[in-house]
Amino acid sequence: MKMWTRTALSAAAMMVAMPAMAQQPAQVSVAIDLNSPGAKIEPAIQGQFAEDLGRGLYDGIWVGPDSKIPNTNGYRSDVMAALDKLHIPVIRWPGGCFADQYDWRDGIGPREKRPVRINYTWGGVTYDNSFGTNEFMDYAERLGADAYVAGNMGSMAPRDMQQWIEYMTAGGKSTLAEERRANGRDKPWTNLKYFGVGNETWGCGGNMTAEHAANEHRRYATFVQRQSEGGPIVRVGSGANVDDYHWTEVFMRDAARTMDALSLHYYTFPGSWEHKGPATGFDKAAWASTLVHALHMDELVTKHSAIMDKYDPDKRVALYVDEWGTWYDQEPGSHPGFLYQQNSLRDAEVAALTLNIFHRHTDRVKLAAIAQMVNVLQAMILTRDDKMLLTPTYHVFDMYVPFQGATPYPATVEGPRYKQGEYDLPMVDVSAAKGADGKLYLSLVNLDPDRAARVTTGLGGTATGRILTGPAIDTHNTFDAPNTIHPVAYAGKNVGGKLVFDLPAKSVAVVAVTQ
Ligand code: AHR
């Protein structure tokens, strides 16, 4: 994104000195280069992550067929209907850190016979394995999503990965295929598109060095089948934590041949790892700090991609940001190991800014998974008993559906910056792409919590869509008031042949342009 002009900066400085003028909308201009299309925005960048963690699976999507909560074969009907609207391209399961303690055999066969285990990774609570492979694969299939199954490299053998994949994908007469049939699934699932070779092997997945993990990857990946009836299976290497560029260097140098994608994990929080800050009731410094940290994703993707370019100039190996999102202090009163947090307008901004960053890196970023889908971290949906609410993050994903499979164009933004104490950010962020339906879509994000912007484009025609905003920086939905924040109709204006958008403070808009 282009930076700001000297004139605009001094105008912004004057406005700080003259509070009466601070009410004036900032003048922002956007130029969209329709002659320089980028690589397609893979739908999979809008992927979801559903770990066996807290109430993400149990309570969140699975209540079992005997529950009083309305369900379809055990899946919460309200949650399933809401997720349907997002056209979820891919779901990653069962972890996360949990993946490296999980034995897939625990989760198949008659539910009443499945073992009860302790979730050592998350809270030390027991789980009854009633949500296992068949339940996950059917759920993903029912939602029209591809499955991204994360294998256990930390505490099981390569043979277990091989057999798990065979159970899911074998069409013939193998004993594992017969076992799957006996468990109620005749045909193999054809939506197993991605298989993770371990998770965070630098930490919870085995505390390995990069060199050791890359070697282990080579060994395990050898036994990960690469083809199924559903097509190729992508072998995903367990990649770097945040800015561990050495990790990416070693994996690309030593293991690129045996992987089709390498992951990256990055979480956004305003404070420190020990004191991340609350999900609501925060101040403007925490708002700005969160957005600065969210924008850091651009630098991370740029630098990891540059290393990958060195070893893989043809970009055969993709970068999967398969864990991202906000991570705050858990909600007061919730289980410390459950990572349950509220979700506000601030999270909506993080979601939009992050997806926009991925739109600028489509050459390498082919999949991403927000953490996590229901009741955990930056969730789409929160549930309590039989109640459900859609979060501001859900609404952003809903508004962004037209970007799935779209062709992005560079957008150059000029205007003032949003400054808050030590934090200095662009005020407006824009992403533009031509959707699979042939329409041009714009996403417009105003990061400033106080100041509206008038965004002038070089485009003609009309533009209509939806906008998400709220009265406070932490506006959020609750179980008693679940519709406090939701998108409303929004349109641009044609002023003298140019499309202009009046963008309120702290807002996210997505519009379709008709030229
Ligand atoms: O998403 C929560 C946890 O964060 C995941 O289990 C782990 O991979 C990461 O550290």
Give the C-alpha separation, 33 to 250, whole Å. Answer: 37
Same domain (yes/no): 456, 347? no
pLDDT of 505 = 98
More confident call, 463 vs 15: 463
Q: How confident is the model at residue 23 (pLDDT cuts 50, 70, 90)?
A: low
Among protein residues, the one whose CA lies closest to atom 4 of ligand 1: 96
**139 CA distance to ligand 1 middle (Å):** 22
Estimate the crossing angle of helix 158-169 against helix 175-182, to 10 degrees: 60
What burial class does residue 497 get, using C-beta atoms within 10 Å of its C-beta: 0-12 exposed, 13-18 middle, 19+ buried?
Answer: exposed
Average pLDDT over residues 264-290: 97
Our CA angle for 310, 313, 319, nearest 5°, is 85
Same domain (yes/no): 421, 362? no
Residues 6 or more apart whose Cβ sits within 8 Å of residue 35: none
Q: Give the active site residues.
A: 200, 323
Among protein residues, the one whose CA lies closest to atom 6 of ligand 1: 96
Give the C-alpha separation, 139 to 455, whole Å. Answer: 42
Same domain (yes/no): 211, 111? yes
Give the SS3 label for residue 268. Answer: strand
**350 CA distance to ligand 1 middle (Å):** 18
**410 CA distance to ligand 1 middle (Å):** 33
What is the domain extent for residue 272?
A: 43-405
Same domain (yes/no): 269, 283? yes
**DSSP code of residue 109:** S
Structure tokens at 377: 């971290």
* Residue 30 forms part of a structural domain: yes
Among protein residues, the one whose CA lies closest to atom 2 of ligand 1: 96
How many domains does the structure of the chain reveal?
A: 2
Q: Is a pLDDT exceeding 60 seen at residue 20?
A: no
Residues 6 or more apart whose Cβ sits within 8 Å of residue 412: 1, 2, 30, 31, 32, 33
Residue pair 431/442 in contact (Cβ under 8 Å)? The answer is yes
Ligand 1 proximal residues by C-beta, below 6 Å: 51, 95-97, 199-200, 265, 323, 371-372, 377
Give the C-alpha separation, 486 to 88, whole Å. Answer: 19
State the CATH number of the domain containing residue 238.
3.20.20.80
Substitution candidate for ligand 1 out of 48, 97, 238, 241 with most atoms within 8 A of CB? 97
**Given the CA of residue 323, which atom of ligand 1 is nearest to it?**
1
**Given the CA of residue 339, which atom of ligand 1 is nearest to it?**
2
pLDDT of 108 = 98
Rg (CA), the chain: 23
Give the C-alpha separation, 261 to 256, whole Å. Answer: 8
Largest CA distance in the chain: 78
* Residue 457 forms part of a structural domain: yes
pLDDT of 450 = 98
Beta-bridge partner residues of 413 = 30
Neighbours of 438 (CB within 10 A): 6
* Residue 1 forms part of a structural domain: no
Q: Is a pLDDT exceeding 50 seen at residue 12?
A: no
pLDDT tens for 123-157 read 999 999 999 999 999 999 999 999 999 999 999 99
Chain centroid to Cα 471, Å, comes to 26
Q: Is a pLDDT exceeding 50 seen at residue 13?
A: no
State which of 405, 432, 458 marks the end of a domain: 405
Q: Is a pLDDT exceeding 80 seen at residue 16?
A: no
Average pLDDT over residues 238-252: 98
Residue pair 6/371 in contact (Cβ under 8 Å)? The answer is no
* Residue 267 forms part of a structural domain: yes
Helix/strand/coil (H, E, C) string of 321-357?
EEEEEECCCCCCCCCCCCCCCCCEHHHHHHHHHHHHH
Structure tokens at 441: 């879509």
State which of 405, 436, 470 marks the end of a domain: 405
pLDDT of 397 = 99
Same domain (yes/no): 49, 131? yes
Q: What are the two backbone dihedrals, phi and then psi, of residue 432, each rounded to the nearest 5 degrees?
A: -130, 140
Q: What are the two backbone dihedrals, phi and then psi, of residue 392, each rounded to the nearest 5 degrees?
A: -55, -30
- Please state whether the peptide bond connecting residue 96 to the residue before it is cis, i.e. omega within 30 degrees of 0: yes
Among protein residues, the one whose CA lies closest to atom 1 of ligand 1: 371
Same domain (yes/no): 53, 192? yes
Distances from the Cα of 194 to the Cα of 49, 213, 357, 385, angstroms: 13, 19, 23, 33
* Residue 2 forms part of a structural domain: no
Beta-bridge partner residues of 196 = 150, 236
The number of residues in the chain equals 515
* Residue 3 forms part of a structural domain: no
Same domain (yes/no): 375, 472? no
Residue pair 493/511 in contact (Cβ under 8 Å)? The answer is no
Q: Is a pLDDT exceeding 60 seen at residue 3?
A: no
Among protein residues, the one whose CA lies closest to atom 8 of ligand 1: 96
Distances from the Cα of 257 to the Cα of 85, 150, 322, angstroms: 38, 19, 20
Same domain (yes/no): 72, 55? yes
On average, the pLDDT of the chain sits at 95
Same domain (yes/no): 141, 18? no
pLDDT of 15 = 36
Q: How much helix, strand and coil, in percent to the nearest 5, is found in the chain?
A: 30, 30, 45
Q: Is a pLDDT exceeding 50 seen at residue 1?
A: no
Chain centroid to Cα 262, Å, comes to 16
Substitution candidate for ligand 1 out of 53, 204, 276 with most atoms within 8 A of CB? 204
**96 CA distance to ligand 1 middle (Å):** 5
**16 CA distance to ligand 1 middle (Å):** 41
Q: Which of 468, 491, 156 is nearest to 343 (CA)?
A: 468
State the CATH number of the domain containing residue 464.
2.60.40.1180
Return the exposure string of 215-234: e unless at least 16 CB atoms fall within 10 Å of the residue's CB, then b. Answer: ebbbebbebbbeebebeebb
Average pLDDT over residues 31-38: 98
pLDDT tens for 179-190 read 999 999 999 999
* Residue 5 forms part of a structural domain: no
* Residue 400 forms part of a structural domain: yes
| DSSP secondary structure, 427-447, as one string | SEEEEEEE-TTS-EEEEEEE-
Average pLDDT over residues 100-120: 98
Taking the CA atoms of residue 263, residue 269, residue 271 and residue 276 in that order, the dihedral angle to the nearest 10 degrees is: -100
Same domain (yes/no): 178, 277? yes
Give the C-alpha separation, 399 to 388, whole Å. Answer: 19
pLDDT of 515 = 86
Same domain (yes/no): 305, 434? no
State which of 379, 405, 431 marks the end of a domain: 405
pLDDT tens for 396-445 read 999 999 999 999 999 999 999 999 999 999 999 999 999 999 999 999 99
pLDDT of 17 = 39
Same domain (yes/no): 70, 33? no
